[in-house]
Amino acid sequence: MSSRHDGRTPDQLRKISFIPHVAPHAAGSVLVSFGETRVICCATIEEDVPRWMKMQRVEGGWLSAEYSMLPYSTLERKQRDITRGKLDGRSSEIQRLIGRALRAVTDLSKLGQRTIWIDCDVLQADGGTRTASITGGCVALAIALNGLMAKGKLKAFPLTKLVSAISAGVVDGQPVLDLDYVEDKDASVDFNVVMTESGDFVEVQGSGEEAVFSGEEMTAMLELAKKGAQELTVLQRQAILAADKPSGDSLAALAAAFAR
């Protein structure tokens, strides 16, 4: 297999890491890194449900997500949405995707009358911010739910499966896994695949960038995504277990992550 611009093989993920407890006031938090892409994912809990659920007498709780790219996350400063008075279309689409992905693996009836918010803030963008947000958001959610269970506030664990997301694409005629920015901007085909730990698809977003792709290429990309999701699940489980046994200062770990 040919190597890529950063030395990875076509089926190789970037270096993935999770640093838990980076936001002390959140019920669950993690800094997730996909290579140079870094996103803080936090889960906060409100002991209430949206008004529409009350009006329609819907049982259980709710889960929603918000996504933003901080102004300094890109090479050129990104204007905050609030200064424009509205959320941009890309951010809106991504946060809806995060919410759908996490609700797909959460039994909302077991949440009780509460809402869980998943906030994903991009600190540094180098491709794959939506996939990192979903993958890290699931870890933050699991940490928060573990906390509720430990306090006796839940009778049963609502998270049915882990979910993760990864990109795949065709670059220079070669299907590759986990595209960084350099590859993403030159890819002829770009896929984002959301999968559960059991290998079921939650969502597949894919398109040719002024190009077409064959059935064989699509199959190759989905196989790469499946391999990547399996590897991410292992890392997610390790991160969730590690969060229950904190070792060292999370702020020191955060500094070390940016220093490498």
pLDDT tens column, 228-259: 999 999 999 999 999 986 544 544 444 454 45
Q: Which tens digits make up the pLDDT trace of 171-182?
A: 999 999 999 999
pLDDT band at 24 (very low <50, low <70, confident <90, very high): very high
Q: What is the mean pLDDT of the chain?
A: 91
Residue whose tokens read 């190597």: 3
Give me the pLDDT at residue 245, please. Answer: 67
Is residue 32 within 8 A of residue 136, CB to CB? The reply is: yes
Percent of the chain scoring above 90 in pLDDT: 81
* Residue numbers belonging to the annotated binding site for phosphate: 90, 128-130
Segments making up each domain of the chain, as ranges: 16-77+87-244
Is residue 137 within 8 A of residue 66, CB to CB? The reply is: no
Work out the average pLDDT over 211-221: 93
Residue whose tokens read 């709710």: 62
* Residue numbers belonging to the annotated binding site: 90, 128-130
Longest dimension (CA), the chain: 57
Give me the pLDDT at residue 87, please. Answer: 76
**What are the CA-CA distances from residue 259 to residues 91, 129, 254 (Å)?**
28, 20, 9
Q: Which tens digits make up the pLDDT trace of 197-207?
A: 999 999 999 99
What number of other Cβ atoms are within 10 A of residue 91's Cβ?
A: 18
Q: Identify the weakest region by mean pLDDT among 162-166, 215-219, 245-249.
A: 245-249
Task: Write down the CATH number for the domain with range 16-77+87-244.
Answer: 3.30.230.70
Give the pairing type, strands 189-196 and 163-171: antiparallel
Work out the average pLDDT over 48-52: 93
